[in-house]
Chains A and B, each alone.
Chain A
Amino acid sequence: MLDRRTLLRRALGGLSLLAARSSAANPAAAPLRIWDIHCHLTDAPGETPEERLTAIVKFMDRMGIERVMLSLGYPLLYDPPPAQLREENDQVLRAIKRWPDRAYGFVYLNPNHLQASLDEFDRCVRDGPMVGVKLLAAKRCNAPELDPIAERAAALKAPIMQHTWLKAGGNEPGESSPYDVVELARRHPNTSLVCGHTGGDWELGIRIVRATKSLCVEIAGSNPTAGFIEMAVRELGAERILYGSDACGRSFASQLAKAIGADVPDSAKQLILGGNLRRLLTPILKAKGHPVT
């Protein structure tokens, strides 16, 4: 007869990959190293950036997440003026300084303020500790203003994480779709571009990016609808899929479940949950002197 504690442990520990991560009883299993490309200070509890990331780290510890890519401060603005852009990036810089082993920063840029954005890129990535770019919904990313940003990111091997959606009711005016990212990727084949949210409506997003081999997709910010990862692996290959959560607006849990619960090989899950992101970041991490393991 199993006692209640054993039953609970079985119920919650039936997730083989997460369980393997810390299982001393299973030393042969490859350790699962989860890196999350999509995390924000915006909805995290806390008064300061340091407090907010500390709260996030507590959730990461519960869920077995090793590292997050942090972007966006507070209040969240979709078209921030230069001063606010700088303020939000300063918040991220403060937070990652508090937790350098748990978070890297992605600089938030606004193509509607191109020179200010290029200056922020230089301040935070070229001359600072950040390792990637976050673009939200100020301007659709097929616009020519994106070209200098894409070129500068490519020069430093910094990935660009571009928010995209395909809303049944229509996107916001400055909101990109996967079609826009494909246009940008075709103009900049050497830039590491990530199609955020896989367009939300992933059955369409996957098809849109499928032929553009330089593009990766990121899985955050939508419901944990069954079949997402199976289709993505089938059509794109596991090497082009990145786990992200969009926490704290989304739970780490619901987004992790997409990869953990998918009927794909464990090797694919390893890539999606961290291997691919580490591969994308390796050049810039090496250039900045970060240990790459």
Chain B
Amino acid sequence: MIDVNVSLFRWPFRRLAGDDTAGLVAALRKRNVTQAWAGSLEGVFHKDLAGANTRLAEECHRFGDGMLHPFGSVNPKLPDWQEDLRRCHEEHKMPGIRLHPNYHGYGLKDPAFSELLHLAAARGMLVQLAVCLEDERTQHPLMHVPPVDISSLADLLKREPDVRLVLLNSDPLHNLEQSQELLPARNVFFDISMVEGAGGVGRLAKQVSITRVLFGTHYPLFYFESAVLKVREAEFADAEKQAVLESNARKLLSQ
């Protein structure tokens, strides 16, 4: 299995099983994960993203034994963010980046976001965009962070056709007002960590095609088993399961 949505380091509001990298790797191996795309929770909250990305790369190398693929954080509102992107690509050899526009304080209409997409695509890097990290209704009262408004994304991607974008932690069929135009966009992929409703993953696959649905757990913030059971609930044929659990992600990474 390839899990496209795990995170390293500590979540500030709760201790989690798996918030140490050795423990996370052991838990993933126990669950038959062979590859995981790892973002950094430090990258959500820190300003020194160069330091956070270096630690992410080192941690993946030290503990992952090839399993963990680091996805660095870039905040296009920070001074000289282009250097962060360059280091992710050239120094750390990362296959992609993970963005948190809501925690970093910008909207998707911001020209800096457009420039970031363009530069990432020029480097051939995957872009993961986390729509949210937790339910807005249960956030710490001093840390209210609404989900990313993705309604302008479809138009932007029409102007950046080389971008390969993975939406993490989204539930597109329950947010059609914002996601309707994204559904046919062939360069957009969806992880299943926050897809809800009985049979929701199956419905999503029918709507956007099985090839654009990726196994992502949002572990360790979520119970790993949630995504596994969603695949079971979808009642896919074996080939479809294989696509969601592994081959879609493998193809995406090799493009």
| Chain B neighbourhood of A248, CB < 8 A | 197-199
CB closest chain-B residue, reference A223:
B135
| Chain B neighbourhood of A7, CB < 8 A | 32
Q: Are A5 and B238 in contact, with the CB atoms below 8 A?
A: yes
Q: Are B226 and A169 in contact, with the CB atoms below 8 A?
A: no
CB proximity to B under 8 Å, residues A212-270: 222-227, 245, 247-254, 256-258, 260-263
Instruction: Please tell me which stretch of B47-55, B154-162, B217-225 contacts chain A, meaning at least 4 of its Cβ atoms lie within 8 angstroms of it.
Output: B217-225
- Once bound together, how far apart are the Cα atoms of A292 and B211, in whole Å? 46
| Chain B neighbourhood of A257, CB < 8 A | 222-226, 228-229
Q: Given A248-B197, A252-B198, decide whether A167 and B137 contact each other with a Cβ distance below 8 A.
A: yes
The 8 Å CB contact of A12, one of B14, B138, B221, B232, is: B232
Q: Are A62 and B223 in contact, with the CB atoms below 8 A?
A: no
| Chain A neighbourhood of B17, CB < 8 A | 226-227, 263
Q: Are A168 and B229 in contact, with the CB atoms below 8 A?
A: no
**In whole Å, how far is A241's beta carbon from the nearest beta carbon of chain B?**
15
- Once bound together, how far apart are the Cα atoms of A8 and B243, in whole Å? 11
Q: Are A4 and B135 in contact, with the CB atoms below 8 A?
A: no
B144 within 8 A of A: yes
Q: How does the 8 Å CB contact mask read for B126-149 relative to A, with 1 for contact and 0 for none? A: 000000001111110100100000
- Once bound together, how far apart are the Cα atoms of A165 and B136, in whole Å? 13
Most buried by A among B18, B224, B231: B224
Q: Are B1 and A168 in contact, with the CB atoms below 8 A?
A: no
| Chain A neighbourhood of B235, CB < 8 A | 62
Q: Are B241 and A8 in contact, with the CB atoms below 8 A?
A: yes
A289 within 8 A of B: no
A43 within 8 A of B: yes
B233 within 8 A of A: yes
A200 within 8 A of B: yes
Q: Are A168 and B144 in contact, with the CB atoms below 8 A?
A: yes
Q: Are A261 and B199 in contact, with the CB atoms below 8 A?
A: no
Q: Are A253 and B229 in contact, with the CB atoms below 8 A?
A: yes
CB closest chain-A residue, reference B31:
A14
| Chain A neighbourhood of B141, CB < 8 A | 168
B242 within 8 A of A: yes
Q: Are A62 and B245 in contact, with the CB atoms below 8 A?
A: no
Q: Are A201 and B137 in contact, with the CB atoms below 8 A?
A: yes
CB closest chain-B residue, reference A224:
B226
Q: Are A11 and B32 in contact, with the CB atoms below 8 A?
A: yes
- Once bound together, how far apart are the Cα atoms of A20 and B79, in whole Å? 55
Q: Given A168-B144, A226-B221, decide whether A8 and B232 contact each other with a Cβ distance below 8 A.
A: no
- Once bound together, how far apart are the Cα atoms of A12 and B242, in whole Å? 11
Q: Are A247 and B198 in contact, with the CB atoms below 8 A?
A: yes
**In whole Å, how far is A37's beta carbon from the nearest beta carbon of chain B?**
16
- Once bound together, how far apart are the Cα atoms of A165 and B230, in whole Å? 25
B213 within 8 A of A: no
Q: How does the 8 Å CB contact mask read for A157-192 relative to B, with 1 for contact and 0 for none? A: 000000001111100000000000000000000000
A211 within 8 A of B: no
- Once bound together, how far apart are the Cα atoms of A18 and B233, in whole Å? 13
Q: Are B199 and A225 in contact, with the CB atoms below 8 A?
A: no
B208 within 8 A of A: no
A63 within 8 A of B: yes
Q: Are A251 and B197 in contact, with the CB atoms below 8 A?
A: yes
Q: Given A224-B222, A252-B198, decide whether A168 and B139 contact each other with a Cβ distance below 8 A.
A: yes
Give the 3 A-B residue pairs with the shortest CB-CB distance, closest first.
A261-B223, A253-B229, A261-B225
Question: Which residues of B come within 8 Å of A, CB atoms?
Answer: 1, 14-18, 30-32, 134-139, 141, 144, 194-201, 219-226, 228-233, 235, 238, 241-242, 245
Question: Which residues of A come within 8 Å of B, CB atoms?
Answer: 4-5, 7-8, 10-12, 14-15, 18, 43-44, 56, 59, 62-63, 165-169, 200-201, 203, 222-227, 245, 247-254, 256-258, 260-263
A–B Cβ pairs within 8 angstroms, 8 of them: A12-B232, A62-B235, A169-B144, A226-B222, A251-B198, A252-B233, A261-B226, A262-B223
Task: Please give 9 more A-B residue pairs, beta carbons under 8 A apart, in addition to A11-B245, A226-B222.
Answer: A15-B229, A169-B136, A201-B137, A225-B223, A253-B230, A253-B233, A254-B229, A258-B223, A261-B225
